[in-house]
């Protein structure tokens, strides 16, 4: 039983995720968390700041009283939030040339160039467009 579990975890971590091309929006992640864990959050995490780190810690501490649905979905929701945050950081790296050359912006203020990157498909590389899509800007 334990060997089968360990094998499945190793395989799951070693295989590339099929969802790497898409990230779940922040709203969808929070919606999943609210649907699956709303009652558990109210019952066990009252007074906890609603930021993702503290809420995840609270749910982890209270795993023994969580419903099966919450157990299966809360890690997915928090993982999706982290992927979206990472995707937004990636935009600055993937779109450096476009931010400076096409949009006339600064890589230190990537967020100011996002409207330009989204509305100007000419001169934007495929890597940059992919990063913008994964970050949820388009």
Kindly state whether residues 60 and 113 are assigned to the same domain.
Answer: no
70-101 pLDDT, tens digit per residue, is: 998 988 888 888 888 888 888 988 999 999 98
pLDDT digits (tens, 9 = 90+) for 37-51: 999 999 998 888 767
Percent of the chain scoring above 70 in pLDDT: 83
46 and 75 together in one domain: yes
Judge if 62 and 99 occupy the same domain: no
Q: What is the pLDDT of residue 43?
A: 92
- Domains held by the chain: number: 2
Identify the domain containing residue 30 by its residue range: 22-84
- 6 in a domain, yes or no? no
Q: Are residues 54 and 108 in the same domain?
A: no
Listed in sequence order, the residues at least 6 apart from 45 whose beta carbon sits closer than 8 Å to its beta carbon are 55, 58, 59, 62
Indicate yes or no: pTM above 0.85: no
Whether residue 128 lies inside any domain: the answer is yes
pLDDT at position 22? 55
Phi, psi of 48, rounded to the nearest 5 degrees:
-80, 135
Among the ranges given (20-24, 40-44, 58-62, 130-134), the one the predictor scored with the smallest mean pLDDT = 20-24
* Domain co-membership, 31 together with 78: yes
């Amino acid at each position: 039983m334990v060997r089968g579990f360990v094998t499945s975890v190793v395989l799951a971590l070693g295989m590339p995720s099929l969802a790497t091309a898409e990230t779940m929006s922040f709203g969808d992640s929070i919606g999943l968390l609210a649907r699956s864990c709303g009652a558990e959050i109210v019952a066990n995490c009252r007074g906890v700041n609603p930021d993702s780190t503290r809420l995840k810690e609270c749910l982890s501490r209270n795993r023994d009283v969580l419903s099966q649905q919450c157990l299966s979905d809360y890690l997915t929701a928090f993982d999706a939030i982290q992927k979206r945050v990472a995707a937004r950081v990636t935009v600055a790296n993937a779109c450096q040339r476009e931010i400076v050359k096409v949009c006339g912006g600064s890589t230190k203020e990537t967020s100011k160039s996002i409207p330009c990157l989204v509305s100007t498909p000419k001169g934007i590389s495929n890597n940059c467009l992919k990063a913008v899509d994964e970050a949820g800007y388009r």
